[in-house]
Amino acid sequence: PVADQVVRIGVSGDGQMGTINGTEVVTGSTDTQGQYSAILTSGTTIGEARVRAELLVLDADGYRPVHEDQQVIDMIVPEVYLPFIMR
């Protein structure tokens, strides 16, 4: 892990599958331990959300990804159990 590296994290689905820190894509710098954290909040659609992380470097043309990883997360509807009341 390396500190002060620029990373970009995004989630598929136009916000319907979920958001990261309230948006589809976030960009930030790693901390002194070489880590960057963000909060994934589920959206309104059931299915597979693809979360992609990229390590970016700056060159003459701007920032470009040099490393990337992707994870698929199954977004499901949580089951809600309501109490049964008889009169």
What are the tens digits of pLDDT across the range 59-79?
Answer: 999 999 999 999 999 988 766
Q: How far is CA 24 from the centre of its chain?
A: 8
> Would the pLDDT of 20 be above 80?
yes
* Phi–psi pair at 34, nearest 5 degrees: 80, 25
Eight-state DSSP code of residue 77:
P
- 86 pLDDT exceeds 80? no
Tell me the pTM: 0.80
Q: Name the band, by pLDDT with cuts 50, 70 and 90, for residue 1.
A: confident
